[in-house]
Amino acid sequence: MTSEAPNPDVILNANGEGDTSTDAPDTASGGSADRQADPPIIQPIERRERTSPTGLRSTIRQAADAPRIADGFPLEGTIVNAADSPDEAHRRPDGVSDATVEALGKLSEALEVVEHARGLLYGFHRLTGKADLALGAAVELMRAAGHADIADRLNAIIIGRNVIDGRWTFQIVEDYDENYYSAFVDEERAARQSLVEGKKHLFEAEMKENRRTHDMPHHEARPTGV
């Protein structure tokens, strides 16, 4: 039994069926013999152009009955809904430039990294203390197993040992908090108070307005009733 040779003039359509319509490409004139089926058309949710979190204040339109929201938010062409907008604590004050909001955002980001580092330092503090207590239990087990010489060495040399010169970990944590962390927190707060009435996370608040889908459930500016 011999198989029938494929007809070069037949092109499979999107349903896998033969299509011999006259719009098949003309290979003699340079057209391709293989035609890709058109992909299905998906109707998207209404999109608004999202751009960088700063620099678009002049392009924002506001509803006539909406309160002034610091010249608007960085979502081009959006009509701000007064009932679905950031609270007063997250609206930039009058006269504050995009550059200032961006600079304070970067300062806040730096402080958040410090907070993360501080958390890791406290983790180091807790784990080191836990290790020392576990070592104490190991010493007692070693002694009970008849290895008093090893138990004595561990007890004398390692238990209660300073982790750096002159310091246990609580002293490291205290030194970090008093000499670095507290100074960083104070200066970040002072910058916000000087430039934006002490308001926090203005950069992030405007980024949220830029990235969320307005009038979509679970994309609200703030909790209901707040």
2: left (phi over 0), alpha (psi -120 to 50) or beta: beta
Q: Which of 67-81, 161-175, 177-191, 208-222 has the lowest mean pLDDT?
A: 67-81
Please state the domain extents for the chain. Answer: 48-92+204-226, 102-198
CA 134, distance to chain mean position in Å, is 37
The rounded mean pLDDT for the chain is 77
Give the integer Cα–Cα distance in Å for 81 and 64: 10
Model pLDDT for residues 27-36, shown as the tens digit of each residue: 444 555 455 6
Per-residue pLDDT of 188-213, as tens digits, reads 999 999 999 999 999 998 989 888 88
Q: Model-level pTM?
A: 0.63
CA angle 116, 122, 125 (to 5 degrees): 145
